[in-house]
A = this chain, B = another copy of it.
């Protein structure tokens, strides 16, 4: 990811918004502002009223883009995984060996995101932090089946499928490729959260990236 990449719009599932926030200045301000604000105060304290103050637009205008703050969170989550898949495709291009492909995928899913790619009006470092601490709230709801029906999680499912296929290339008889991949995807985020807030649940070492190393070992041993 570097400056040579043209500004591409990642398409997010239309059911997650009332009006595409990419289609106007106000829409982009809503996205940029909500990422800033959620990162700062957390999703629980985040309200459209506070966002309105932050971006200097009335609360009612925000409701014309998003039905609710839940839907906005689903949008951000969806954008993030879309971005991940884009990065994955990019990073796997022209690599033949399935083992190398899997290694690259694991790195992408588990590494810390510490640089904003300037890819768009979206700050990926902040968004990554939000996905780590808040995205589970997007599906751990009584509405999950409804949300699933409208395609809110299709990007994650797609990503899990893509990486599962690489695993099956390496070992066609491995029984649990999807479980293994979804374990990494959610687990890696959780481990980052634990490393920061509940270190007794992890084995953090300042030196190298323990999380990437842990998952690399885990996965390659599992599918051998």
Question: Which A residues are within 8 Å of any B CB, using their own CB?
Answer: 41-42, 44-45, 133-134, 136-137, 139-142, 144-145, 148, 153, 156-157, 160-161, 175-180, 182-183, 186-187, 190-191, 193-194, 197-198, 200-203, 210-211, 213-214, 217-218, 221-222, 224
The answer on a CB contact under 8 Å between B140 and A134 is yes
The quantity of this chain's copies bound in the complex is 2
Main SS class of interface, A: helix
Q: Do A44 and B142 touch across chains, with their CB atoms under 8 A apart?
A: yes
B contact residues around A156 at 8 Å (CB): 201
Q: Are A194 and B182 in contact (CB under 8 A)?
A: yes
Report Cα–Cα, A141/B222, bound state, in Å: 33
A133, B180: Cα distance in complex, Å? 20
Beta-carbon contact of A187 and B197 below 8 Å: no
Q: List 9 A-B contacts (CB under 8 A).
A: A41-B142, A44-B142, A136-B137, A139-B198, A157-B201, A175-B203, A178-B203, A179-B203, A179-B210
Contacts of A182 in B (CB 8 A): 190-191, 194, 201-202
CB-based contact B214/A179 at 8 Å: yes
Residues in chain B near residue A194, CB distance under 8 A = 182
